Amino acid sequence: MLSKPSGKWLAFAALLSLGAAGAGTPDAAFAGETGKIKTRAVLVTTKQTMTTLEDVKDHTLLYLEQDGMIVSAGGGFLEKARYQLFYLSDSSSMVAGGYKTFTTADGSKVFAKFSDTEQAPPIYKGTVEFTGGTGKYAGLKGKGVWTYTTISDAVAMDEMEGEYELP
């Protein structure tokens, strides 16, 4: 007998159906290309670990992995790319940020690191720096800002704006 699907799996199924609709979207990149980026992504939590430390009151460490896709990029840079997020937060403010990896349909990747600048749950804001890539995005650089909105325990939306440059 099948059990009722959880919200996490329903969200993942929705992501898969969105990805199938745009799997062949072209995403050309040219040497010397510069441009602006504005994306909206949906992410599903795949791993979350929280540890409480006893050194000071309410001191916690959070590690989070999320997987999803860019669902809107205006038909341009990173449209329909797979999006993986790796996040570490220390409530003592020692660390709050992580890494983003974007993979396009042809297997090219874009790498970025990010930091939190504002935490007002369920909305978080910060900066992002594109640190390189593979394939057609080798040598990519850029920067921008992001706004992350928690929708449920397992689903979030991430919006990003910025600029990029290819060598």
pLDDT score recorded for residue 126:
98
- Residue 74 belongs to some domain of the structure: yes
- Residue 36 belongs to some domain of the structure: no
- Residue 154 belongs to some domain of the structure: yes
- Residue 116 belongs to some domain of the structure: yes
Q: How far apart are alpha carbons 114 and 126 in whole angstroms?
A: 7
- Residue 129 belongs to some domain of the structure: yes
- Residue 3 belongs to some domain of the structure: no
- Residue 124 belongs to some domain of the structure: yes
- Residue 32 belongs to some domain of the structure: no
On the question of pLDDT at 51 being above 50, the answer is yes
Contact yes or no for 114/127 (Cβ under 8 A): yes
Q: Say whether 47 sits in a helix, a strand or coil.
A: strand
Let me know if 153 is exposed, middle or buried by CB neighbors in 10 A (0-12, 13-18, 19+).
exposed
Q: Say whether 107 sits in a helix, a strand or coil.
A: coil
Q: What is the pLDDT of residues 72-124, one digit of tens each?
A: 988 788 999 999 999 999 998 778 999 999 999 999 999 999 999 999 999 99
The domain that holds 141 is classified in CATH as 2.40.350.10
pLDDT score recorded for residue 23:
40
State the number of CA atoms in the 13 A half-sphere of 83 facing the CB. 28
Residue with tokens 């993979």: 103
Tokens for 137, please give them.
Answer: 């995005």
How much is the pTM? 0.81
- The total domain count for the chain is 1
pLDDT score recorded for residue 31:
75
* Domain of residue 150, residue span: 41-165
pLDDT score recorded for residue 135:
96
Q: How far apart are alpha carbons 89 and 95 in whole angstroms?
A: 5
